[in-house]
Structure 1
């Protein structure tokens, strides 16, 4: 029996436009869509003219981050096309997301409705420790590559896995510092990652178990 090589993909910032969805949920919660402050901002606080929330207002916003929200985050430009290219080239795509398990099925529905050729989502939750909350899932999956847009989530990823960092949103990015040395390749978005994978000289398939 032959097995397809797996590529593990983060969701928000790699497949889906969480920042754009944040503006929509803010409008639902508070009745006014925020103005765009910086289109190249990394996080919602960097991109939109919104304040840091805590207490009651944070609880209000989180109440709107419900089934509807996690089922309808829009895809990033060319992300669906990039995934189809990888899928058609023989890769099995699995989404590994630092999302609460309660929302795992909604995230899968979101991806399927958007047209992604992805049949599996692993929701790892978040953790405050030094090890990535995704490390255990990646170790069990044994993918040829792991693609994320958040540098700290590569901590503890097995060394045999190719680590590909998406370098979006340069303003306010956490993707700086000595930990960049552990990254194998940098890509502006998932489309450019797919071009690299399908280009000459890529050795991802040779890493397949």
Structure 2
């Protein structure tokens, strides 16, 4: 019988396209097209927006239940569903501002077919969630959380390249998407990976 592994996956930038949803909301509120001026995590700096415009966008996001409407990154959702179908443990470890956002995020994950995945929501650091889950594999688009995973000795850490441009340090693997990352992990542990398409 094949071994079952514990996978912990970030939501935004790995499974869900938060940037697309937030950009669309902001374009409607500010009535102008948004262009990336600096590929960084901070949304104001990314789109060259003043603090007042960012606050206005977040207010509209909250009123329109933005967390519920985030579209999928189809590759990520497909891989996560495949892992669940194979009997592996999948936990979505996500940073969210409040419990209302958590409820919307859970609804969104269920909508995209991940009702079998557990969800842990945190406000900032992911160290506690990673220590609780003790995953064999962790994927996130933010370098700071990948470093946290390295600090708590996660064996395989996949940084999914999304917006940040910092150099990836030793002990963290960099990939263009979740399918490539999971494939690399399974090859490393000698686990047969089924074809997705």
| TM exceeding 0.5 | yes
**Structure 2 counterparts to residues 1-209 of structure 1, below 5 A:** 4-32=4-32, 34-37=33-36, 41=39, 43=41, 50-54=47-51, 56-66=52-62, 68-102=65-99, 103-126=101-124, 133-157=125-149, 158-169=152-163, 173-176=164-167, 180-183=169-172, 185-198=173-186, 200-202=187-189
Q: Deviations over 1:136-182 (max 9, x none)?
A: 1110111111111111113343114421111234xxx24316xx113
Distance 1:46 1:116 in 2: 32
* Shift in CA distance, 36/116, structure 1 to aligned 2, threshold 3 Å: farther
Give the SS at the match of 1:90.
Answer: coil
Query: C-alpha displacement at 1:119, in angstroms?
Result: 3.3
Gaps of 5+ in 2: 192-197
Q: Distance in 2 between matches of 1:37 and 1:160?
A: 33
Find the aligned partners of 1:197 and 1:161 in 2 and give their Cα distance: 10
Structure richer in helix, relative to its length: 2
- TM-score (norm. length: structure 1): 0.75
Aligned residue pairs total 184
Distance 2:139 2:7 in 1: 8
Gaps of 5+ in 1: 127-132, 205-209
Q: How well do the aligned residues superpose, as a CA RMSD in angstroms?
A: 2.7
Partner of 2:195: none
